Chain A
Amino acid sequence: MEKNSPQSHQGHKEIPKHEIQNEYPILIVGIGNTYRSDDAVGLCVAQHLKRQTFDCVNVIEESGDGAALMDSWKDSDAIILMDAVHSGAQPGTIHRFDVHTQTIPTKFFHYSTHAFGVAEAIELARALKQLPQNLIVYGIEGKSFEAGIGLSLEVEKAVEEVMMRVKQDILNCSPRKYTEYH
């Protein structure tokens, strides 16, 4: 199914449309630690998205415990994760992974307080054949992971772009069911 998915106007693959069975078929998960500077960016995006209401979409915040993540996505058809990463790219760079076609480099999500974190959860789910039907991961390149509150300027600037792209993913996933209330 993945291989035949159409390309979106942004150049990345759409989440395939499929029959919606669950109350919240789309789950958005913001991951991070509020007290570790840019590590909070995933939470920040999630908090912004929570202020808008979407049909069929549940937005939650997690600290990045891999086992809890695996459990959280069991009841949804499409999952979108957002977390800070540190890969050496420019701070604020947005990486997007379609998990069914890409392996997640474990060191990419290294800036987590969890040894069993996002990348490990995804790869373990793959090994156990428990990957959700659709799983998109946004990694936002962080600049500072020091103890402290607040995003650095470069990362703050990426928040809106990530929100737009996540909303596009939601649209692609379920155009008829998607409604945004302002």
Chain B
Amino acid sequence: MKSRRIKVDCLARVEGEGALYVKIKDNTVVDIKFKIFEPPRFFEAFLRGRTYNEAPDITARICGICPIAYQMSSVHAMEDAFGVTVDGQLRALRRLIYCGEWIESHVLHVYMLHAPDFLGYPDAIQMAKDHPDIVQRGLQLKKTGNDLVALLGGREIHPINVRVGGFYKVPTRQELAPVAEKLKWARDAALETVRWTATLHFPDFEQDYEFVALRHPEEYPFNEGRLVSNKGLDISVHDYDNYFIEEHVQHSNALHSVHKGRGSYFVGPLARYNLNFDKLSPLAQETARSVGLSHVCRNPFQSIIIRSVEVLYACDEALRIIEQYEKPDKPALEIQPRVSTGYGCTEAPRGILYHRYRIDDEGVILDAKIVPPTSQNQKTIENDLWQFIPQHIKLPNDQLTLQCEQAIRNYDPCISCATHFLKLKIERE
């Protein structure tokens, strides 16, 4: 019997650190473990005893890449608990700041983390030596997203201007004007990004996934909607816990989320796109079609194009919001805490982010539950590798390792949300 083992101690270019272990015997995969080392639920415990209005800023510290997502899911959950609906221009501003986060997060992944895989570079630094103009475009495009988040969030990293009920301070039309000019350039750059990513070479790889995303009757989803899937799921966010459970997996300290009775599911740009193509702006739809995408894309390797389409949409949507913006009279609605449980689910760049809080009559958090998108995709990532590795099993160890890393990066796994570090280990014996 011939067996081999591949060891990769560190998976680069995913956010954080975790580990992947693959064991192959006689050219057959016998074991795959995608490990996450999660200091168990530190933030959920940390939130207990804090007041409701601290949740947005505390949870924003879970991830440096998608703090807005954490702020949005927490404020929606709190407003749900207290029976408050934020609408009009305050609601529009929330979409606007989310546009900024999608732009910065997606562009970082497309240009700096994922593109080097397709172009055969070990990292963006090497890629920049041969393609400085492309990398410069990525940096400038990302900066537009950062600028938008900084303007509305008070600062780029760990924004502090979001609160339950709205914002602490809202911008004037004049304050939004300079960023609108940058967004016009960014929209063109995003269009170029879609065209560029569509020219990359993609492995032929598809599975029968259950895609899960928010769906809203009138818009491409950021903050609100029902949870739907391509396999018939259509539920209120309030029912999340009845349909999705977190299972403890022995090899990982993080919890694997599964759809009860069905198993793994797929969240993120591909899921959003497949379930909401008709809600993209005409420009985003047209551009997607022009590069050969249909309204459904099942190849996770092509997520780099879909992310680019979402960047284009975010630029387009941000410009639309700014054009129609009128400064609201008050930056936030009044909040009156009450004994309740609140639920919030918004579309983080990497997929749905679920928050649930139980609050007492003084607004103190009694317990909190947070399910980040990466822990929801974890089982799907493992399943992909079970399918993908046998197709490439004859490759030498180093090449197979790179291919596995690329397959994991399809999901832009933000391990810093699920845990701090991701160490990738692949073993062939």
| A residues neighboring B (CB under 8 Å) | 33-36, 62-68, 70-71, 107, 110-111, 113-116, 120, 123-124, 126-128, 145-148
Contact = CB atoms under 8 A, between A and B. Distances in A.
Given A65-B65, A128-B135, 13 more contacts: A35-B61, A63-B157, A65-B108, A66-B112, A67-B104, A67-B139, A68-B156, A110-B421, A113-B63, A115-B15, A128-B128, A128-B136, A147-B43
B231 interface: no
A126 B129 CA distance: 10
Interface stretch (B6-14, B170-178, B232-240): B6-14
Contacts of A123: 125
Contacts of B15: 113-115
B154 interface: no
A20 to B, nearest CB: 26
Contacts of A70: 139
A67 B112 contact: yes
B379 interface: no
Contacts of B10: 107, 110
A67 B14 contact: no
Interface in B224-248: none
A71 B123 contact: no
Given A110-B17, A123-B125, A124-B135, A71 B421 contact: no
B64 A120 contact: no
Interface in B138-186: 139, 142-143, 146, 156-158
A36 B419 CA distance: 11
Given A62-B157, A114-B15, A120 B124 contact: yes
B65 A114 contact: yes
B377 interface: no
Nearest to A120: B125
A23 to B, nearest CB: 18
B132 interface: yes
Nearest to A72: B156
A155 B126 CA distance: 34
B268 interface: no
A148 B42 contact: yes
Interface residues of B, number: 39
Contacts of B156: 65, 68
B139 A35 contact: no
A116 B146 contact: no
Nearest to B412: A115
10 contacts: A33-B64, A35-B62, A65-B108, A66-B112, A67-B143, A68-B156, A110-B421, A111-B420, A115-B14, A148-B42
A137 to B, nearest CB: 16
A34 B42 CA distance: 13
A111 B420 CA distance: 8
Contact of B108 (A34, A35, A67): A67
B315 interface: no
Can you list the 7 inter-chain pairs with the closest CB atoms, starting with the nearest?
A147-B42, A113-B416, A63-B64, A147-B39, A63-B157, A127-B128, A123-B125
Contact of B61 (A33, A111, A146): A33
B61 A34 contact: yes
Contacts of B13: 115-116
Nearest to A107: B10
B16 A115 contact: yes
B75 interface: no
Contacts of B284: none
Nearest to B158: A63
Contact of A67 (B17, B126, B146): B146
Contacts of A64: 64
A123 B121 CA distance: 15
Contacts of B128: 124, 127-128
A57 B382 CA distance: 49
A107 B9 CA distance: 12
A145 B420 CA distance: 8
A117 to B, nearest CB: 9
A113 B128 CA distance: 22
A116 to B, nearest CB: 5
B352 interface: no
A36 B64 contact: no
B368 interface: no
A68 B16 contact: no
B113 interface: yes
A111 B146 contact: no
A113 B42 contact: no
A120 to B, nearest CB: 7
B150 to A, nearest CB: 9
A135 to B, nearest CB: 16
Contacts of B158: 63
Contacts of A115: 12-16, 112-113
Interface in B11-30: 12-17
A113 B10 CA distance: 14
Nearest to A119: B125
Contacts of B157: 62-63, 65, 68
A178 to B, nearest CB: 27
Contact of A127 (B14, B63, B125, B143): B125
A148 B46 CA distance: 9
B64 A116 contact: no
Nearest to B128: A127
Nearest to B129: A127
A147 B12 CA distance: 21
Given A34-B61, A68-B156, A123-B125, A113 B420 contact: yes
